[in-house]
Amino acid sequence: MNEMKLIFKSRLENEAFARTCVVAFLAPLHLSMETLMEIKTIIAEGVVNAMIHGYEGKEDGDIALEVCYDEEIIIIDLFDQGCGIANIEQAMQPLYTSRQDLERSGMGFTIMQTFADVFHVDSKPGVGTNLHIEKKLL
Ligand SMILES: Nc1ncnc2c1ncn2[C@@H]1O[C@H](COP(=O)(O)OP(=O)(O)OP(=O)(O)O)[C@@H](O)[C@H]1O
Ligand SMILES: [Mg+2]
C-alpha cells in the first residue's frame, strides 16, 4: 500500500491544505469527480470538527492525517488530541450539535458516514479523537 502521514496545526486555513494534500496524494488512482468530492468532504468535515470541537478554536493543536491506498481501498485516519467526545452515540445522531451557538447543523458525522464504506469514531474525553474511514474502490 502507498501511505502518507501529515501533521498540521489546528488553524482554519489548514482545512484547504489538508484537502489539497489528500487529492494530490490520491492522483495516481485517477478517481472519478464524484469519489474525489466525497473524499474531500470527509476530510473537510473531519478536520473542521477537530479544529472547532476538539481544540475548541485553539490554533496550536496538532492534527494528524494518515492516508493509505491500493487499487482496492482508501483508508483515512484522522487524529486530534483535543477535548474528546463523552457520548459518541449521541454525537453521531443526525442534527446533534454541541455548538448551536456557532450555528453548526450537526450533520458532519452523518455526511461522513454516508460517503464512507466503513466509519469508526474512537474518542476519549481529555485524550482526543480518532476517525477511521475506509472507502472501497472495487
Ligand atoms: N474531533 C472532535 N472532538 C470533540 N468533539 C467532536 C469532534 N468531532 C465531533 N465532535 C462532537 O460531535 C458533534 C457532532 O459533530 P458533527 O460534525 O456531526 O456536527 P457539528 O460539527 O456540530 O455540525 P456541522 O458538522 O454540521 O457543522 C459536535 O457538535 C461535537 O460535539
Ligand atoms: Mg462537524
pLDDT digits (tens, 9 = 90+) for 4-16: 999 999 999 999 9
- CA gap 19, 128 in Å, rounded: 21
| 5 Cα–ligand 1 center, Å | 23
Cβ atoms within 10 Å of 2's Cβ, excluding its own:
11
| 43 Cα–ligand 1 center, Å | 13
Q: Would you place residue 77 in the very low, low, confident or very high pLDDT band (cuts 50, 70, 90)?
A: very high
**Is pLDDT at 138 greater than 90 in this prediction?**
no
**Is pLDDT at 55 greater than 90 in this prediction?**
yes
Which residue's alpha carbon is nearest to atom 11 within ligand 1?
91
Ligand nearest to the CA of 129: 1
- CA gap 137, 67 in Å, rounded: 14
Mean pLDDT of the chain: 97
Count, residues in the chain: 138
- Can you say whether residue 84 is alpha, beta or left, with left for phi > 0 and alpha for psi between -120 and 50 degrees? left
